[in-house]
Chains A and B, each alone.
Chain A
Amino acid sequence: MDHDDDILMQRTAAGDERAFRQLVARWQQPVFAFLLHMLGSVEEAEDLAQDTFVKVFDQAGRYRPAGKFRSWLLRIAGNKARSTLRRRKVLRWVTFDAASHDQATPGDDPGRSLERRETVDQVRAAVSELPERQRAAVVLKRFQGLSYQEIADILDTTVPAVESLLQRAAATLRLRLKGAAQPSAREEVS
């Protein structure tokens, strides 16, 4: 997909607005999801996603096609999220109505569906309370499916550092989700 993105970026740089529109359509959901998990606000995530794509448009002429469009794009989005977080210091989570967006699985009974929604809310809250870089690493790895190398590129760090961020995030999440989570295997062993 990155190769296709490189082509679309080249076409965008050449003034092809349709190509740019295609890029936005292709990447708006991942960018928005990343920003939403980083910021906790739908409105801010939408605004920053727009800003991200405007910057992509502005930078199209300078973009070097190296098959790393996703990393480049999410790095721009991440920088914008970081600036916003620095300004506001306090994370507001979750302003969107998760219940109206998280679809119940067909056949689920309402009780089970409610239970799952509560778990999702607990997880989102726990993730949102992680330090910024740990949160970014978790979101990029678990919600976006990126490799350690891609995450390292986005966060401007090394692969071992990404692994360390995820290890520390796991330790924190494990504590915070203890009530919501099933008992850990270590507890079962001991």
Chain B
Amino acid sequence: MKHVDHQIQAYCDDELAPSLRAAFESHVRECAVCRGELEAARQLWAQVDTAAGALPSPEIWSGVAAQIGERGRRSPWTWTQRGLAVAATLAGVAIGFGLGGGDAAVQGDPDTTTASTEYLEESLPSLDQLWLQLGDSDEDAGS
């Protein structure tokens, strides 16, 4: 008779494959040694389970919030947003140079050049403004 003690742990943990389960149970019914091992394992784990009992209740949030807060509440979202904003600003500046350096600039039309520059200045916030705006949104998220 081949013992099944190597399967006891998985059986106790309800992890034994269904295909092996029936054979295991059948063997245990016939074999006093394996039945004894199974009972011992069950008793052991029941005893171990008692140690899972009541533990102190941690107060995690205030510490987590403090650590996040110390770093200026820079969430992954704001970093992503900041990156996009900076990229957009740089792209805008590049486009501005492109427009400014185009036909109008070549032709030396001061009105056109000035208009396009003013448009860019009005439509694109400065980097400082972006940081400030995003800083505000962080505060909102934190409230």
| A interface residues with partner B (beta carbon < 8 Å) | 12-17, 21, 24-25, 28-29, 31-33, 36, 42, 45-47, 49-51, 53-54, 57-62, 96, 101-103, 116, 119-120, 123-124, 127, 138, 141-143, 147-148, 159, 163, 166-167, 170, 173-174, 177, 180-182, 184-189
Contacts and interface: CB of A to CB of B under 8 A. Distances in A.
A181 B47 contact: yes
Nearest to B32: A189
A61 B41 CA distance: 44
B48 to A, nearest CB: 5
B141 interface: yes
B30 to A, nearest CB: 14
A28 B13 CA distance: 25
Main secondary structure of the interface of B (DSSP, over half): helix
A173 B44 contact: yes
A36 B67 contact: no
Interface residues of B, number: 47
B80 to A, nearest CB: 6
Interface of B: 6, 9-10, 13, 15, 32-33, 35-41, 43-45, 47-61, 63-65, 67-68, 75-80, 137-138, 141-142
Given A58-B76, A163-B9, 12 more contacts: A12-B75, A32-B55, A42-B56, A50-B63, A53-B60, A54-B64, A127-B51, A142-B48, A174-B40, A181-B43, A185-B37, A189-B35
B53 A102 contact: yes
Contact of B80 (A17, A50, A61, A148): A61
Contacts of B38: 185
A29 B55 CA distance: 9
A31 B58 CA distance: 10
Contacts of B59: 46
14 contacts: A46-B63, A50-B63, A51-B67, A54-B68, A60-B77, A61-B77, A101-B53, A102-B53, A123-B50, A123-B51, A142-B48, A148-B13, A181-B43, A186-B36
A141 B52 CA distance: 11
A85 to B, nearest CB: 19
Contacts of B35: 185, 189
Q: Which 5 residue pairs across A and B have the least CB separation, nearest first?
A: A61-B76, A185-B39, A184-B40, A15-B77, A185-B36
